[in-house]
Amino acid sequence: MFRRLNGSEANHIPRTLLLCAGLLVLIACGGGSTGPVVGSGPVAPVSVAPTPAIVVVGGTVQLTATPKDAAGNPLTGRIVTWAISASAVASVSATGLVTGLAPGWATITATSERQSGSAAITVGLVLAAVSAGLEYTCGRITSGAAYCWGLNASGQLGEGSTTNSSTPVAALGSLTFAAVGAG
C-alpha cells in the first residue's frame, strides 16, 4: 500500500511539486506577455495619425500623436505640443483637433521632448453649385458662401485683388449667395 519515504526522497517531492506547479502556470498563461508593451526612456520618434488627413472648411479632424521610445514602443504620460505651417488654412488645438479655415494645404507638427512628427492636411470645399467662366470658376457651399479661383486680372474672383489663384478664395464680405454665375 504505502511505503515510507527516506529523507532524500522526502526532500525531493516538494521541489518536484513546485516545478510542476510552475510549469502549469506557464502553460496556462501561454508563456508570453499578457498585455501591451509600454516603452521607457526618452522620446525617439513621434508618430502622428491619420496622415494624410482631409477636412472641409468649417469641419474638424482629430489627430493623435504617439511618442515612442527607440524600440518603437509607445510612451505614455509625455507632453505633446502642436503647431501648424499655414494658420490661414487650418487651426490646431492643444489636443490635436484640426479645424479647416480655408481651402489649401498645411503641415501639422506634434513635438514631444524635442522630437517631432507631422501630418499633411488638405482643407477642401464641398460645393453645392459650380459655374465656370472662360478663365475662372466660382462655387457656392451649402452655407451660401462663394469661392472663386482662376485668372483674376479684372478682380473677377471677388476677393479684392487682381492676383490669380489656383485654389478657391472666399468672396469678400459676409454675403450669402443663393446662386453663382461666372460670366
Q: Cα–Cα distances in Å, from 155 out to 108, 129, 162?
A: 32, 21, 5
CATH code at position 119: 2.60.40.1080
Mean pLDDT for the chain? 82
Domain count of the fold of the chain: 2
pLDDT, position 3: 53
In sequence order, what are the residues at sequence separation of 6 or more whose Cβ sits closer than 8 angstroms to the Cβ of residue 22? none
14: phi then psi, degrees, rounded to nearest 5: -60, -40
Question: Based on the domain organization, do 119 and 136 belong to the same domain?
Answer: no
Per-residue confidence band for 9, with pLDDT thresholds at 50, 70 and 90: low
pLDDT, position 175: 83
- H or E element in which residue 48 lies: strand 46-49
Write out the three cell numbers for 97: 483637433
Cα angle vertex 50, ends 44, 55, to 5°?
Answer: 140
Question: Based on the domain organization, do 120 and 75 belong to the same domain?
Answer: yes
Question: Based on the domain organization, do 115 and 94 belong to the same domain?
Answer: yes
Expressed as residue numbers, the domain containing 78 is 46-124
- The domain boundary, picked from 92, 109, 124, lies at 124
- Whether 163 is covered by a domain: the verdict is yes
Question: Mind listing the pLDDT tens digit for each residue in 67-116?
Answer: 999 998 999 999 999 999 999 999 999 999 999 999 999 999 999 999 99
- Whether 92 is covered by a domain: the verdict is yes
Alpha carbon 138 to chain centroid, angstroms:
31
- Whether 94 is covered by a domain: the verdict is yes
Question: Based on the domain organization, do 53 and 101 belong to the same domain?
Answer: yes
CA distance 63 to 168: 25
Q: What is the mean pLDDT of residues 42-65?
A: 92
Mean pLDDT check: name the lowest of 8-17, 58-67, 76-85, 120-129.
8-17
Question: Based on the domain organization, do 70 and 133 belong to the same domain?
Answer: no
